[in-house]
Amino acid sequence: MVRYLGGAVVLMGLWLLMSGVYKPMVIGFGAASVVLVLIIVRRMDRVDGDRLDASIDPLKAVGYFAWLLVEIAKCNWTVTKVILSPALPTRQHMFVVPYTQRSDLAQVVFSNSITLTPGTISVETEQDHFLVHALSYDPRDDVELAEMDRRVSAIESEAS
């Protein structure tokens, strides 16, 4: 029960933070949405009992996401140059990126980090690697993605 109460507080807080509107009707919609989500989660727990353990160290995650924002900005600039300069060729390429994360959550963080970075997208997930498409492939991309993989693996908590 405490888990559901904590989830309700987090979800309602996110609703209020992201909506930015504090009128009673909007807050009511938020509360109704939270209740609906919690009902669905409770029913899902009864059916399969499958849980996703949060195996991410929150303090390390803050540092990682700060680093990721810088990487997104750098890649955004590169993609902007490719789009605005017709002389720059696009070197579209599909390639395999291995991952070293132990938990499903960390693998999702890594895959989403690849997709959030402009110019790359995770296309497919396999047992030990992702298939990635790059707008303008450079062999250095492999090194940069290996660094991203290392950083995501570093935010996994020891318990996973």
Which amino acid type is present at position 136? Answer: S
Specify the DSSP element, H or E, that contains 153: helix 140-155
What residues make up the domain containing 66?
58-155
Closest CA to 126 of 95, 147, 154: 95
Same-domain status, 72 and 136: yes
Dihedral angle over CA of 73, 79, 81, 82, nearest 10: 170
90-118 per-position pLDDT tens digit: 889 999 999 999 888 899 999 999 999 99
Q: Give domain status of residue 160, yes or no.
A: no
Distance CA 120, CA 23 (A): 40
Our count of domains for the chain comes to 2
State the pairing for strand pair 120-125/93-98. unpaired
Residues 70 and 126 both lie in one domain: yes
β partners of residue 156:
56
For residue 105, give every residue at least 6 positions away whose Cβ sits within 8 Å of its Cβ, in sequence order, or none.
52, 53, 54, 55, 56
Q: Tokens for 37, please give them.
A: 């989500």
Angle at 96 between CA 94 and CA 102, to 5 degrees: 145
pLDDT digits (tens, 9 = 90+) for 28-87: 999 999 999 999 988 888 888 776 666 788 899 999 999 999 999 999 998 998 889 878
Say if residue 114 is in the same domain as residue 37.
Answer: no
Residues 43, 14, single domain; the answer is yes
First-to-last C-alpha distance (Å) of the chain: 24
User: Does residue 82 belong to any structural domain of this protein?
Assistant: yes
> Do 79 and 31 fall into the same domain?
no
Answer yes or no: do 142 and 74 share one domain. yes
For residues 128 and 101, give the distance between their C-alpha atoms in angstroms, rounded to a whole number: 9
- Do residues 96 and 29 share a domain? no
Whether residues 25 and 70 share a domain: the answer is no
8 and 40 part of one domain: yes
* % of the chain surpassing 70 pLDDT: 95
The CA distance from 55 to 105, in Å, is 7
Residues 66 and 97 in one domain: yes
Alpha helices in 85-139 (DSSP H): 104-116
Q: Residues 139, 156: contact at Cβ < 8 Å?
A: no
Residue-wise pLDDT for 119-154, tens only, equals 999 999 999 999 999 998 888 889 999 999 999 999
pLDDT digits (tens, 9 = 90+) for 9-33: 999 999 999 998 999 999 999 999 9
Query: Do residue 11 and residue 69 come from a single domain?
Result: no
Residues 17 and 91 in one domain: no
